[in-house]
Structures are given as C-alpha cells and as structure tokens.
Amino acid sequence: MYIHFPENKMFDYIEVYGRGAAEVTSIVFDSRKSQKGAAFFCMKGLNQDGEAFIDEALQKGSTVIVSQNGKRMKELSLSYPALTFIEVLNTRTAAAQFSAAFYHNSCRDLFLTGVTGTNGKTTVASYIRSILNVLGLPAGMIGTNGIWSSREKLPFRGSTPTTPEAPDLHRIFSEYAEHGEKAAVMEVSSIALDQKRVEGIQFDVAVHTNLSPEHMEYHKTFENYREAKLKLFKQADKAVVNADDVLGAEILSVFPGRVLTYSLNRDVQADIHAYAITPSETGTSAVIEMNGHAQHVFLPVFGEYNIANILAAVCTALHGGYSLSRVLEAAEKIEPVEGRFQVVWGKEKQKIIIDYAHTPTALDQLLREVKKQNGRRVILMLMGIGIRDFSKMPRMAATAEGRADQIVVSVDHPGDHEPQVIIDQVLSGFRHPEDPSISTALNREEAVRKALSLSSEGDIVLLTSGCINGAQIVKGQSIPHSDEKVIEEYFEQNGCGQQRSI
C-alpha cells in the first residue's frame, strides 16, 4: 500500500520527518520480523522497548519507523532522508489505528464479540463460535487456545498469550473476511485493554463472565484490574452480563446499550436462568428459562460453571437475532473445548480431566464438581505459573489442601525463574507441606507422568492449568507441549492403551 502520510492520515501523529510517502507492505512491532517495506512501531512491552531495536528494523528493510521519541525521529531522518519517521503521542494507539486502516477495517464486516472476565473466557468464546457455526453463521475465534476459523485451527503463532497485538489482530480479521467468515469471537484480556490492543474496535457484543483477583503482577491493584475490564463495555453496542457476579451490577449501571443478563440462581433477577442442573458421565441436563418459557436441554458439558458459560454464549447468539429455541438446539451440539474439563479415559478406567483452572476461584469450582463424584480417589496436579502473580501461588495451595488424595505440585511457564523457586512458593500455602500425600515435579511433563503413576482403577486425575497456544514459556522460548501426547505415551510405555472421550 502506497501511503502519502500528510494527505492520507490513517492515524494520529505529531510530525512526519524525512520522506512524506512510502510503500508499506506490512506492520511489525518485533524488529526480528522487519522486512523490506515494513512499518515498524516502537512499542514498549513488559521487558523490552521497541526503541532499542530501531537499528535492527532499519537494517532489515523497514521504510517507516513510528515512535514517541520525536527527537530521535528527527535525528534519524537526517541520516536516512529517503525513509519515513513519524512522531506520535502514543505508539500503541497509533499501531491500532494504522492496523485497522491498513487492513481495510475488516472487523466492521464481522459480527464481532469480545469476551472478558477472570475465568471462562476461552470456554465462552469457544461455545459462542460453536453455536454460531451450527446456526449457519461462519465464525472464527481468537484466544488462549489459538486462532480458529469456522472450520479448523489455523497455524498462527500468537504474539501474546490471549489477545494478539493490534497489527496481528487486524491481519486475522482481514483473513477472516477474505475467507468468508461472517463472525468472530475473541477473548479480550485486561492487559490487552490496558495496552490498547483493541483500541478503536467497536464490538457488536461485549460479554462479562466473572471477576476475581488476577494479573496483580501487571495491574498492581484489584481496582486497576477492574477498571481495565470495564473498558470493553465502552466500545460495544450490546452486552451480556453475569448477574451472579459482583461486577455485573456495575456494568448494568453504566452501560447505555441493550443488555442480556444470565444467572444460575432463580432468586436473582436476570433475563435467562438455568436450573435443575443434573450431571452425568456424558454431559449435563438442565432447564433453561427465559420470559416464562422453560425448555429442558442436554448439553455435552460438565460443571455448573460451564452451564453459566453456556448461558453467556446463548445470550450472545440472541443478540445476533436468533430465536431461543434455535439457539438452544444449537447449544446441544456444541463442540468440546480443548483443555476445559476435557475428559480422557485411561484403560484402567481412570477419569483424566484436563482443565485450565489457574486461579483459586476456578480451582475451587473444579474441585466442587469433582467432589460430586463420590467414592473416587482424586489425584490433583497443582501448578505455579512463573509468568503470573507469585502471591497467587500460596492461595492455590490453600484452596487445594485437604481436597485431594494426592497432590503433585509443579510448574507451568517458568519464564526466567528457576522451577524450584516457583514450587517452593506454592508449597508455602499449605498448612502441612510435609504431608506425604504432597509431592513435586520440576516440569509439567514430569508432573503429568507422576500424577498418572499415582492413579489406579477408577481414580480421577485432575491436570490443572495448562499450555498457552500449545506451548510452555521457558526463558523467552515457547516449548511445544501436549498433555494428551504425554498421557498417550505414558500408557503405551506402561503396557496399556488409552482412549479419548468427551
């Protein structure tokens, strides 16, 4: 795309230095991906500042450099008069604005849903995608489980764990529109909102799942975290709100558009309720009621909290103009969510549950559901996450203590930390860390194998937390990992097979 910046003002800037026009072939924020014709945005991350990599971007062929450092932009323009250097007030805002324009504002051609909340984002987003696809509206999904079209998972390596940076995000929207997708649902994290990755996007629907303390390593205070979450509802036409959550009332008090609320408590005022929730080995039956109309459904999901997640997805589809009867029929056909109460059966009838529960609240909910399956021993794999808030780790241990027959403590995404340091932080939350039922493993693969080795016929093995985009983050590298593959190899090596269920 040939751009004459003074005439075609695609984003807000203070001054253009050097050449006023350039042929732009791509947008990058990682200098290693710079190439001929790239526009390099000097964005500041948690550990690196793009300013430090301008020289590398230039060496690799970038023709446009965008930065908040006006003095340096002016100086570089004297050394490279044939290139374009642009001073902006906020590089992240500029990147979001320019990316949207560069990719022809493709997001406007999609029925776009943003999902935010502490727990359940991935599950709700997956359910929405699945329901819309069954209803005949081709929908893609963007989030922790990767980038999906309406048909399959795409080979796209995310720039961040949950919500991609703006240049990647708008490129995905463009590819969706080009390949015939009519809708997209995406997880919108609090960090993404704070870092302006979705700046300028107007969502058709914003969904709120729940709120509890998380990402304190970034936000520092719960108030900052809460305020970040609320930003999504300032850029949406309609909203879906969990009436059972403390943040729900606040959203309802300030959101000017149409809102649908959901609840698992019939005593709570909401637009749609679910009750008579009855679990089984193959799913959950429930009655869903709206406007006095009650309908019995059987859903291929497990856990009461996932019935709440179903309601969030149902409300989103209702906002899309579909009838309740059609949406509930579609909900009965939803696809299982990778790594979210995903059940794998061992040949010795161990019920292995892979679930992303990575907060005290989510872990508590998971353990409550497992408790309903009386008489079965529980082996719990409990993880400390090295790239997250260390103060959360002892609370995870306190939540788990006394609620499993065996606990294996290990590490997810150690980042730059030594695994033993993370393990010790988790152990500090137990009242009795010396209990022989508590053991440790230095990495996730070793922990999965240990948990399986501690199980016997009929036991439940809970593998909590998990990978981000199919990988573990270790010292800046994404190391591929699959619990399913480890489970399969374990049973093969120990002389018995395993089969996958729902």
**Each residue's pLDDT tens digit, 320-349:** 999 999 999 999 999 989 888 888 988 788
Task: Please report, to the nearest 10 degrees, the dihedral formed by the alpha carbons of residues 461, 483, 146, 64 taken in order.
Answer: 130
Give the pLDDT score at 9.
81
- Please state, in angstroms and rounded to a whole number, the distance separating the CA atoms of residues 383 and 443: 9
Give the pLDDT score at 499.
47
Give the pLDDT score at 472.
87
Instruction: Read off the tokens for 339.
Output: 């790594």
Displacement of CA 145 from its chain's centroid (Å): 7
Domain 103-331 has CATH 2.60.40.1840: no
Instruction: Say which CATH architecture domain 342-500 belongs to.
Output: Alpha-Beta Complex (3.90)
- By C-alpha distance, which of 316, 258, 283, 261 is closest to 127? 316
pLDDT tens-digit map of 459-499: 999 999 987 767 888 887 888 899 999 999 999 888 664 44
Instruction: Specify the pTM.
Output: 0.86
- Please state, in angstroms and rounded to a whole number, the distance separating the CA atoms of residues 316 and 113: 8
Q: Is the pLDDT of residue 502 over 50?
A: no
b or e along 273-309 (b: 16 or more beta carbons within 10 Å of the residue's beta carbon)? bbeebebeeebbebebbbeeeeeebebebbbbbbbbb
pLDDT tens-digit map of 350-359: 999 999 898 8
Domain boundaries of the chain, sorted by first residue: 2-90, 103-331, 342-500
Indicate the CATH number for domain 2-90. Answer: 3.40.1390.10
Q: Which residues contact 129 (CB under 8 A, 6 or more apart)?
A: 139, 140, 141, 148, 150, 185
User: CB of 339 within 8 A of CB of 466?
Assistant: yes
- Please state, in angstroms and rounded to a whole number, the distance separating the CA atoms of residues 136 and 182: 10
Going by the annotation, the residues of the binding site are 31, 117-123, 162-163, 189, 195, 197
**Identical topology for domains 2-90 and 103-331:** no
- Please state, in angstroms and rounded to a whole number, the distance separating the CA atoms of residues 190 and 117: 8
Going by the annotation, the residues of the binding site for ATP are 117-123
Q: Is the pLDDT of residue 401 over 80?
A: yes
Which residue intervals of 103-154 are DSSP H helices? 121-134
- By C-alpha distance, which of 94, 93, 92, 84 is closest to 23? 84
- Please state, in angstroms and rounded to a whole number, the distance separating the CA atoms of residues 74 and 87: 9
